[in-house]
Structure 1
Amino acid sequence: MNEYEFFTLHGGALTPEPIEVFAYPMGDVTVRRSGDAELSPAVQVLWVRTPSPDWSVVFNWASLVAGAARRVLVMPYLPSARGDKDLPSPARTNARLAALSGITDIVTVDPHSPVWLDAMSATNPAIGRWELDLAAIVSDAVTDSGSYQGVIGPDAGSRDRASLVAAKLGLPVFIASKSRDQATGKLKGYHAPDGVLNGRYLVVDDICDGGGTFALLRAAIPSDASLDLWVTHGGFTGPDRSHRALAGYQCVYTTDSLPSAAGPHIRTTDLAPYVTQLLSRIATNHEGAQS
């Protein structure tokens, strides 16, 4: 899978455009047309599939298709989104680069926090912000997996996300809490939410790296409770380690927002149908904002 893919929207479907990333002999890159066909003047789409994009690719693409009415950056995983509390803030840095790149719209899913998109809008309020319907994506993914007794959020920061999914599934939501070392602030473990004793539950969160925190959560919840896991962005860094860390979950669900989201124990949802549907809305929306 390419890190950068170029499309237009034709007949309600994503159609590849004759555009390519070109690297010079010394390694510097640009974006250029790869054929003689005319580029669409309506909607141009750049789908970024890497968590660490080269922003010069985005800038050069936006310049190449500057005549298009909409220049949509599809970036399901916002780079450095978890750096929203760091100083300096890589989340804000990436957001400002997006704001200055020449795009008219951005499409993402389940951002870690509001910081990234808010920083982009503060720099360029004209850019349309569009989020895929996470609750619908999760519901579609688990619809054939059997019934759950509830949805579990790992911590207070996951409450809104877990609540949206729970409402879509018609289930109660339970929120776990973290236990930290008082001296160092490091995570020691979790406290299971009240009421989760047995039955079958879906744990919902946005990002999984190595899976260690989810192993701690599994250890805190009574063994009579069976758990599935949904993580929108499956990094799964160190596949063997991730597999061991997540072994306590009956099934792990994620999306293809990251290229690492693959493996025999992982069920991956293709985001393309949801992105295509949203792009059709963008093409007919002249306000430049999600409604």
Structure 2
Amino acid sequence: MPIFINDEQIFSFVFPAGESHVRISPEMIKPITVIEAWLYKAEDIMALLLSVDAIHRFSLGVKIHLTIPYFPYARQDRVCNQGEALSVKVMANLINSLRCDRILVIDPHSDVTPALLDNCQVKTQADIIFDSVLKNILIEDNWALVAPDAGAEKKVLTVAQRLGLRDVFCASKIRDSKTGKITDTTFHDEVKGRKVLIVDDICDGGRTFIELGKLLREKQAETIYLYITHGIFSKGLQALNPYFDHIYCYHSFLPITEENQDFITVISSHDRHSQPS
């Protein structure tokens, strides 16, 4: 994914030996320089580090406002097994080394990420949904919100409070910390005939939502939508299709050719996922 400086994409490539190279023009640099960094793989992170170094070499007086929509390694915010790294801290240390004047993160996985970052601001799930087309849909028909697990419940409650919705339900799941696989999902609330929105920050392969979607279908929910901020969709959308009437996400990792707009709506006006790196 690309790095943008004041809305212009940087020039970058990777040498045959694997090293990243970036080049920016002086015209891209302003007294307050805004960087939007879509960090989806290791070379994107390296391109950001090199870009900030290049900016500082133009002028040490430049103020840098950095936006990172998807903060890498944010899911690894605790050490579950001996021998593992606290990966989010390693990533935060890298970003802090850039000495940015502001860092904006979109819906980080937990409070650990902003706590580790200097000069950090957060755009929350509640902010995103309140400003989106979902707001009126949810309010007009008094949708029920569902958190897929206890870790997501606090964020979902905040969304409900912001929108004035009464009903928030919470599912539970058991995950093997060594393999990452979900071994059990439970949901005990009554949703027959209800319109239901599952809310979470990340959809990777989608197993969490598939298992929960199955249970909601069995409980005869009338309509089931899914909102996730960061749509990785590493296994595509096909597996999710039987359980959801529609998906909303802030941005998507999918190539635009793989997005069925009848099934998924990307609500960020700044989504850069379809542009070449």
1:61 aligned to which of 26, 43, 51: 51
8 Å Cα contact 1:151/1:204 also seen in 2: yes
Note the alpha carbon deviations across 1:176-198, whole angstroms, 9 max, x for none.
2325389x996333322434333
Is the aligned partner of 1:229 residue 2:226? yes
Note the alpha carbon deviations across 1:78-102, whole angstroms, 9 max, x for none.
1011111232122221111111123
Whole-angstrom CA distance in 2 between matches of 1:104 and 1:30: 24
Whole-angstrom CA distance in 2 between matches of 1:260 and 1:119: 32
**1:148–1:29 Cα change, 3 Å:** same
Q: Secondary structure at the match of 2:239?
A: helix
**1:207–1:25 Cα change, 3 Å:** closer
Is the aligned partner of 1:73 residue 2:66? yes
Note the alpha carbon deviations across 1:134-166, whole angstroms, 9 max, x for none.
323213131454624321111111112111211
Whole-angstrom CA distance in 2 between matches of 1:96 and 1:161: 26
**Paired position in structure 1 for 2:112:** 115
**Paired position in structure 2 for 1:288:** none
Note the alpha carbon deviations across 1:43-67, whole angstroms, 9 max, x for none.
2122222322434322222222223
Is the aligned partner of 1:180 residue 2:174? yes
State the percentage of identical aligned residues. Answer: 24
Bigger relative contact order (CA 8 A; separation at least 6): 1
1:147 aligned to which of 115, 122, 141: 141
Note the alpha carbon deviations across 1:76-125, whole angstroms, 9 max, x for none.
111011111232122221111111123222111111112223233xxxxx
* Deviation for aligned residue 1:171: 0.6
* Deviation for aligned residue 1:251: 0.8
Q: Secondary structure at the match of 1:41?
A: coil
8 Å Cα contact 2:160/2:168 also seen in 1: no
Q: Secondary structure at the match of 1:253?
A: strand
Q: Which moved more, 1:221-230 or 1:138-147?
A: 138-147
Q: Secondary structure at the match of 2:128?
A: helix
Q: Secondary structure at the match of 1:245?
A: coil
Whole-angstrom CA distance in 2 between matches of 1:233 and 1:106: 18
Is the aligned partner of 1:28 residue 2:19? yes
**1:186–1:28 Cα change, 3 Å:** closer
2:34 aligned partner, one-letter code: V
8 Å Cα contact 1:71/1:104 also seen in 2: yes
**1:63–1:227 Cα change, 3 Å:** same
Q: Secondary structure at the match of 1:65?
A: helix
Q: Where do 1:7-46 residues align within 5 Å?
A: 7-8=5-6, 15-16=7-8, 19-24=10-15, 26-34=17-25, 38-46=27-35
8 Å Cα contact 1:162/1:204 also seen in 2: yes
* Deviation for aligned residue 1:207: 0.6
**Paired position in structure 1 for 2:88:** 91
**Paired position in structure 2 for 1:5:** 3
**Paired position in structure 2 for 1:50:** 39
8 Å Cα contact 2:3/2:47 also seen in 1: no
8 Å Cα contact 1:50/1:259 also seen in 2: no
Q: Please, what TM-score do these two structures have when normalized by structure 1?
A: 0.76
**1:214–1:22 Cα change, 3 Å:** closer
Note the alpha carbon deviations across 1:220-270, whole angstroms, 9 max, x for none.
22123421110111111121xx42234211110001264558610211112
Count how many residue pairs are aligned between Structure 1 and Structure 2. 253
**1:186–1:60 Cα change, 3 Å:** closer
Question: Which structure 2 segments of 5+ residues have no match?
Answer: 272-277
Whole-angstrom CA distance in 1 between matches of 2:30 and 2:209: 46
Whole-angstrom CA distance in 2 between matches of 1:81 and 1:236: 17
* Deviation for aligned residue 1:201: 1.5
1:212 aligned partner, one-letter code: R
Question: Which structure 1 segments of 5+ residues have no match?
Answer: 9-14, 121-126, 274-291
1:203 aligned partner, one-letter code: I
Whole-angstrom CA distance in 2 between matches of 1:181 and 1:143: 32
